[in-house]
Structure 1
Amino acid sequence: MSSGIDALCDRLQTYLTSDQVEEVRRAYLFSEKAHLGQFRRNGDPYVTHPLAVAHILCDMHMDHQSLMAAMLHDVIEDTGVSKEALTSEFGADVAALVDGVTKLTQVHFNSKAEAQAENFRKMILAMTQDVRVIVVKLADRLHNMRTLDVLTVEKRKRVARETLEIYAPIAMRLGMNDIRIEYEELGFQAIWPMRAERIRRAVLAARGHRKEMVTSLEVAIGERLGAEGIKARVEGREKHLYSIYQKMREKQRSFSEIMDVYGFRVIVDGVDACYRTLGIVHNLYKPIPGKFKDYIAIPKTNGYQSLHTVLKGPRGVPIEVQIRSEAMDAMASNGIAAHWLYKSDGFTNTSQTRAREWMKSLLELQRNAGDSMEFIESVKIDLFPDEVYIFTPKGRILTLPRGATPVDFAYAVHSDIGDTCVAARVDNRLAPLSLPLTTGQTVEIVTAPGARPNPGWLDFVVTSRARAKIRHYLKDQQQGESRDLGLRLLDKALSGLGSKLDALPEKRVRKVLGELGMTDTEALLESIGLGNQVPQIIARRLVPEDDHPAVSRTVQRQAGKGISIRGTEGLVVSYARCCRPLPGDEIMGHLSSGRGVVIHRHKCRNMAAESRANPDKCVPLRWADTVSREFQSELRIALANQRGLLAVIAREVTDSDANIEHINVEEKGSHHGVMQLGLQVRDRIHLAQIIKRIRILPGVDKVTRVKA
């Protein structure tokens, strides 16, 4: 294999020093020795793979440490060489790069998906420390994709699908468009070979018909620019198989419709020439309104810059034109790798800055994510930003994914603004927090000191940052509330045995915690509050019958009063939808694993069934003297089909200081119907007042409260 490393070193001499090239050669020889006796599936010595990865990095003019890491990237995983040994031999930087790309092999996972998620998480965290980790990994994955044909069909499709879902979007996010396109083409061929072949044949057939048109358009654009004194390179853009397939699927267009559009790229000297070129091509062919995008003034998230316009060409054919400078073109192809390919150019600073900002947001995501699977799902959301550009009141531009809402915007500005957001003004008008934003809008967030994230926001936010922050807050809130509820439940159960938690011997508490596999009392209380442990059973374990005296009738009577429900318990107390309990109703609760206490009316059929099946999980409850919230209730109204009656009923509800949540009317013949009316009321008395007002209305036959 000496000829292989010699050829690479000859290439490296064009941009690295002799000492650096020798360091790369030394890493290769170390890798060759470590992988001795190991072969790839096609029968080649294993070292051919790291050598091929290094060649890919050489194309990007990556630094010598990245090339050394490419040579060594599998030695920790496959040969038993330790990170410490690599550090001693090649230095901490190279060892850290290798470790960042290495999979976790010493940890047991419950599933392959979980293992992949944790490996991805490890790589992303290493990438936040050094962006070269992901560049090496992308090159490694590219060579694996180029040699997919030696794998079984099932494994080939799994690797290709992972590449399309994760690595292609990462390459796009980092502006490495050439690698992204090759990933997509190879992945498409591996997963849908028949579809890829059909589209390839259709493209070849269409190319012959298009050649004359493409040539004439290239000449026409080039000649007009030359006449205006602009030095330019005009290139026809070839459509890629996967992008054709995606457009056919997503836009529901036929192959001929997509191929009827002619794409061109015009490369000029600088920014000023870009805008002059735009004016010239708009004079040459008429622009199609609404199809112009200026990514020079407002670059994409990955640093991509270009002017995009669509023109109506000869015989009405649409012409897509991208106009950019040489530096922008290099950026579009190589993304952050352009930093190494064109070190002397300052234009790569923007890409580096944006990449660092994105990686910083990933670090924040992983801190808030509950586990690796949640983290990888959050990152997937972040990897598909079909963007909108939103202005702050001070004129700062924020890039958000399409469909983003004012809540997403608030969290993009700052976490504290998102947490305390109560309203939003979009273009100086009050707007719902769930409103999808569009490019060019100015958004101002209204905050309040005591406000907190709403669980309902999870139904409409689209950014991973907002989702992670809301979940993190709710998780912390749920933990606090579940501990508080768990303490109340356990103390109530202990009081029935004539004891309380503070009075129990510490030794006894530690013994029970050990039996349950818990580290501290807070974990026990949280588990009880979430419904995962039954307080009565825990109480009997903490106070065995032999250890406590006979309990007096007074203590038993006090224990039987039930836990007081204030309505402010939050996430660990929920109200059953089957019977919709209200303050004033007799209530019972049952412990539901992971949800805490679910409150039912005492006479609810579901509660009765739960009492028979799991009596230990049933909890006596009572309403507090003051309950500070509104509750859902539902009325069933039999009424005549009378014009205007619905409006009259709605007015009566509003005049009673209640809110209507939903209305559903079902006709029962031509003259009568039944209305299901969902309300928000304060208590049972409030509901009774509403029923009384509706019952006396002309046309209303009967009003009943819906109950299980």
Structure 2
Amino acid sequence: MTWTLTEADPKNYPRKFLVLLDAVRQYNDNIDHDIPLLWKAFQFAQNAHMGQFRRSGEPYFEHVYNTALILTDLSMDTITLCAALLHDVVEDTAISEEIIAEEFSPTIAFLVKGVTKIGGIKFNSEQEQQAENFRKMLLGVAEDIRVLIIKFADRLHNMRTLGSLPLVKQRRIAIETRDVYAPLAHRLGMYRLKMEMEDLALKYLEPRIFNFLEKKVSAKREELEAYINNFTGLIEKKLRENGIEAVIFGRLKHFYSIYNKMKKQNKPFEEIYDVLAIRVIVNTVAECYGSLGYIHQLFKPIPERFRDFIANAKSNGYQSVHSTVIGPGGKLIEIQIRTHEMHKKAEVGIAAHWKYKESKDNDDSLDKHIQWLRDLVDMLKSDSTNESDFMETLKIDLFKDEIFVFTPKGDLISLPKGSTALDFAFAVHTEIGLRCIGAKVNAKIVPLNTELSSGDQIEIITSANHSPSYNWLKYVRTNKARSRIRKWLQRNEFEQSVKLGEEILEKGLRRLKKADKIKEVRERYQELGYQTLDLFHQALGKGDLTLRDVVNTLLDESEKPGDSEFTVDKILRPFTRTTQGVTIQGLDNVMVQFAKCCNPIPGDDIVGFITRGRGITVHRSNCKNIPKIESEQDRLIDVTWDLKGGRTFIARLNIICEDRKNMMYDIMAVIREMNTNMLSVNFDVEGKLARGQVAIMVENVRHAGRIIAKIKKIPGILSVERM
């Protein structure tokens, strides 16, 4: 991106920037120091969004500019305003987070990244639990509360301009605003934003009701304004007579509040009497209670409608004294009495706690407000007096070990912190977990052991030909995933053992020329102590039961063959490739063959198995095939590596990767770079992924490890494992 920064000169400022600057001056007397930074962000955003237009036809810059203007109503600091102006740059242009950090500051880049991450999340469910999880997730993602405040302003302006979007999008965004953003704004005490969000949501979700209320209020506006002026005049006079200076104003309760009262009380608009709210703003807490007494002298209070939120502040920090009185003409009117400081907090909530830190003093007691996280936790810890408040006992600490991620359809799933894409797959559905070969996180293909973060959107890639491995147990966090994997592996081992046992029985008896006894043996399996035929076959396959045991127990003495006929190599047909490189109990020149089931290479722990007439087969110590032969302990033997320079061994690698151009070339380039040979390669393509096996020659485990590490660094490689 190339752009030219115009020097900060008031003569060159456009009108829009001057309007923004004037708004900031209303609460920040020291803005002059920050003007160059704010002007730079203004120009940068304007240039970055040049040529981009919203669906309404207005330039896109209007949206980010108005987002910043909304934040001036909350008295936000310059850093936040800059981030607001830039909040869509990373998402909607080619400019990266790194460029923002370089041009402005890491803090501004951090805020922009946070808003971008929240913006990529779509809430598509009307379920209450989903909404609560979504709100918790937003708090978790917003490590700096300013991220959330910017997002509120962004959402409010989007709601103000929602009419230009298709009806389906209008409804989705309005539901999200009503169920997620407005309650969260309420929970953080930001009532001004909360009320406007709710009214705008009502406008698009219940247009008939909204229009009805608008007409009713419009028809009575003059009458209501006259009533409010008369009522507030009486109060002002009474307080002035008693030496209390007060700012008093009245308003009609917002449409969404009136609508809820109509629903809750099951009454028409005309029968909802407490639609007026009067605010009395005074200087001190003592004057709050004094004003309450004088007002009660003027108008009869309704005792059960009295609430003291000064002595017992709400959990979001809200403080006021509430009292409903019977005003002139019998109207019920709610009066809220508070100090000027309480009023500011009531309007902007937690935003009032943010103060630009100018002091370098590290004394927490002198810089209380800058500790926004402490303030937030303290507020959320407090007992709420309002049962309907969102997540009354919520603290950030309560969900620090929890993340919230999304399916491609927008459904939200809660997982423990540290969960991987594989955990997510099993959380969605067991079958998806069992068949997954990769995942897309935020549209980028990643390995299954990729750790997830709150706000990620995950799509699982599956294959009907793929199945779990023991390695999966190393990188799953959830009990569900771990138990499902173990259950599948146990079932699969059982099935494989049964299949192998059937083969050992049939081929063994046929080789012994006892094929006519196969049916009889299978009918008499219970005599060997097994309850089912499958358990009998499994025992044969695992090596818990040998063919010799079967023959000796079930056949007559005259039918039993000699011991030499029971050689394991004839039944299991071990591989015949031989090589040297191991020492067997100090003996040399012994015929050795390496098991192809596990392909041991120098550096692996190994064990030997004596095969009559064929020397020794060497397995890895953890080879899954060893249990099939362990019953013959006298044929297991210790073996050690005894290598001389130049000797190489076969290592077989299982690889899962993206199916992209030149992927195979990149893999072969790594193998050539590591100065080794590739014996064979075989890949199958499944959707957007490819998986297969590569056989290479290596010197030892370290050599194989270096090659695997290099291959893993190739873009698009998801996993590499030795077979």
Q: Distance in 2 between matches of 1:325 and 1:106?
A: 40
Alpha-carbon distance between aligned partners in 2 of 1:520 and 1:341, rounded to the nearest angstrom: 48
Q: 2-side partners of 1:230 and 1:112: how far apart?
A: 50
CA contact (8 A) 1:60 1:341 kept: no
Classify 1:31/1:554 alpha carbon distance in 2 versus 1 (closer, same or farther; 3 Å): farther
> Which among 230, 234, 241 is matched to residue 220 of structure 1?
234
Encode CA deviations 1:624-651: one digit per residue, 9 max, x unaligned. Answer: xxxxxxxxxxxxxxxxxxxxxxxxxxxx
Verify: 1:283 aligned to 2:302, yes or no: no
2:402 to 356, 362, 368: 368
* Larger mean Cα displacement after TM superposition, 201-210 or 44-53: 201-210
Distance in 1 of aligned mates of 2:367 and 2:211: 42
Contact 1:378 1:468 in 2 (8 A): no
The CA distance in 1 between the partners of 2:494 and 2:299, in whole Å, is 83
Any conservation in 2 of the 1:175–1:302 contact (CA below 8 Å)? yes
* Partner in structure 2 of residue 320 of structure 1: 334
2:600 is matched with none
Which residue in 1 is equivalent to 2:267?
253
- Pairing of 1:84-103 with structure 2 (within 5 A): 84-103=98-117
Match of 1:579 in 2: none
Instruction: In structure 1, give the amino acid aligned to 2:471.
Output: T
- 1:118–1:100 Cα change, 3 Å: farther
| Structure 1 residue aligned with 2:390 | none
Aligned partners of 1:206, 1:468: CA distance in 2, in Å? 54
Distance in 1, matches of 2:291 and 2:316, equals: 24
Question: Which of 463, 471, 474 is the equivalent residue of 1:519?
Answer: 471
Measured against aligned partners, the alpha-carbon deviations of 1:418-461 in whole angstroms (never above 9, x if no partner) come to: xxxxxxxxxxxxxxxxxxxxxxxxxxxxxxxxxxxxxxxxxxxx
Confirm or deny that 1:3 pairs with 2:24.
Answer: no
The 3-state SS of whatever aligns with 1:311 is strand
Q: Which amino acid aligns with 1:51?
A: Y
Alignment of 1:29 onto 2:50: no
Scaled by the length of structure 1, the TM-score of the pair is 0.53
Q: Which residue of 2 aligns with 1:540?
A: 495
The amino acid of 2:300's aligned partner reads: K
Contact 1:261–1:317 under 8 Å retained in 2: no
Label 1:117 to 1:28 Cα distance change in 2 as closer, same or farther (>3 A): farther
Give the 3 Å change call, closer, same or farther, for CA 199–275 of structure 1 in structure 2: same
Measured in 1, the distance between the counterparts of 2:532 and 2:106 equals: 64
The structural deviation recorded for 1:233 is 2.3
Say which SS state the counterpart of residue 234 (structure 1) adopts.
Answer: strand
Question: Is the partner of 1:266 in helix, strand or coil?
Answer: strand
Report the CA distance shift for 1:222/1:11 in structure 2 as closer, same or farther (over 3 A).
Answer: closer
* Aligned length, in residue pairs: 435
Give the secondary structure class of the aligned counterpart of 1:37: coil
121, 124, 138: which one pairs with 2:139? 124
1:581 aligns to what?
A: none
Cα 1:263–1:65 shift into 2, 3 Å: closer
How far is the alpha carbon of 1:116 from its aligned partner?
Answer: 11
Change (3 A) 1:149 1:341: farther
User: Structure 1 residues 350, 237: closer, same or farther in 2, change over 3 A?
Assistant: farther
Relative to structure 1, the CA distance from residue 110 to residue 267 in structure 2 (aligned partners, 3 Å threshold; closer, same or farther) is: closer
Distance 1:166 1:106 in 2: 15
CA-CA distance at 1:131 after TM superposition: 0.8
Aligned to 1:267: 281
Moved more, 89-98 or 525-534: 525-534
Asked if the contact 2:273/2:331 (under 8 Å) is kept, the reply is: no
2:120 matches 1:168 = no
d(CA) in 1 for partners of 2:257 and 2:101? Answer: 43
Distance 1:347 1:212, change over 3 A: farther
1:306-352 superposed Cα distances (whole Å, 9 cap, x missing partner) = 11112233454323211111111111111122234899999978987
Q: Is the 8 A contact 1:104 1:119 kept in 2?
A: no
What is the match of residue 600 of structure 1? Answer: none
Which protein is bigger by CA-based radius of gyration? 2
AA in 2 matched with 1:365: F
Assess, with a 3 A threshold, how the Cα gap between structure 1 residues 46 and 528 changes in structure 2: closer, same or farther.
closer
How far, CA to CA, are the matches of 1:91 and 1:126 in structure 2?
A: 20
Alignment correspondent of 2:162 = 148
Deviations 1:601-646 (A, max 9, x none): xxxxxxxxxxxxxxxxxxxxxxxxxxxxxxxxxxxxxxxxxxxxxx
**Equivalent residues in 2 for 1:291-330, closer than 5 Å:** 291-330=305-344
- For the structure 1 residues 248 and 350, does the alpha-carbon distance in structure 2 shift closer, same or farther, using more than 3 Å as the test? farther
CA distance in 2 between counterparts of 1:167 and 1:526 reads 32
SS at match of 1:297: coil
Distance in 2, Cα, partners of 1:298 & 1:93: 36
Whether the 8 Å contact between 2:273 and 2:332 is mirrored in structure 1 is no
Letter in 2 for 1:4: K
Distance 1:58 1:166 in 2: 23
Residue aligned with 1:66, SS:
helix
Contact 2:356–2:370 (8 Å) recurs in 1: no
Q: Which position in structure 1 is the counterpart of 2:647?
A: none
Match of 2:348 in 1: 334
Q: CA RMSD in A?
A: 4.6
TM-score by structure 2 length? 0.52
Q: Determine which of 82, 85, 91 is the counterpart of 1:77.
A: 91
Following the alignment from structure 2 to structure 1, what is the Cα–Cα distance between the partners of residues 89 and 340?
39
Counterpart Cα distance in 1 of 2:317 and 2:372: 5
On the 8 A contact 1:336/1:348 being kept in 2, the answer is no
Gaps of 5+ in 1: 380-463, 470-474, 483-512, 563-708
Task: State the match for 2:659 in structure 1.
Answer: none
What CA distance in whole angstroms lies between the structure 2 residues aligned with 1:278 and 1:543?
84
More divergent stretch after superposition (292-301 vs 308-317): 308-317
Residue 669 of structure 1: aligned partner = none
8 A contact 2:469–2:489 mirrored in 1: no
CA contact (8 A) 2:318 2:342 kept: yes
Q: How does 1:489-568 map to 2 (within 5 A)?
A: 515-516=467-468, 519-520=471-472, 533=488, 536-542=491-497, 544-545=499-500, 553=526, 556-557=529-530
Deviations 1:474-504 (Å, cap 9, x if unpaired)? x9xx99xx9xxxxxxxxxxxxxxxxxxxxxx
8 Å contact 2:239–2:294 — kept in the other structure? yes
Match for residue 47 of structure 1?
61
Q: Quick one: which amino acid aligns to residue 79 of structure 1?
A: T
- Check whether the contact 1:303–1:351 (CA below 8 A) recurs between aligned residues: no
Which residue type is aligned with residue 176 of structure 1? M
Deviation at 1:251, TM superposition (A): 2.4
What fraction of aligned residue pairs are identical, expressed as a percent?
A: 33
Does the C-alpha gap of structure 1 residues 8 and 529 become closer, same or farther in structure 2, counting only changes over 3 Å? Answer: closer
> In structure 2, what residue type is equivalent to 1:34?
A
Aligned to 1:442: none
- 1:284 Cα deviation from its structure 2 partner: 2.4
Letter of the structure 2 residue corresponding to residue 367 of structure 1: D
Distance across 2 between alignment mates of 1:212 and 1:515:
75
Kindly provide the amino acid, as one letter, of the partner of residue 124 in structure 1: L
The runs of at least 4 aligned residues of structure 1 exceeding 6 Å deviation read 104-107, 109-122, 341-352, 376-379, 522-528, 558-562
Mark the CA change 1:468 to 1:51 in structure 2 (over 3 Å): closer, same or farther: same
More off after superposition, 237-246 vs 16-25: 16-25
2:247 to 233, 258, 263: 233
The Cα of 1:355 is off from its aligned counterpart by 2.2
Counterpart contact for 1:100–1:122, Cα < 8 Å: no
Q: 1:33-69: CA deviations, max 9, x gaps?
A: 2222211223222222211111122232211111111
Residue type of the alignment partner of 1:540: E
Q: For residues 537 and 209 of structure 1, do their structure 2 counterparts lie closer, same or farther at Cα, with a shift above 3 Å needed?
A: same
Contact 1:336 1:352 (8 Å CA) reproduced? no
Matches within 5 A, 1:389-468: none
After TM superposition, give the deviation of residue 526 of structure 1 in Å.
6.6
Distance 1:131 1:351, change over 3 A: closer
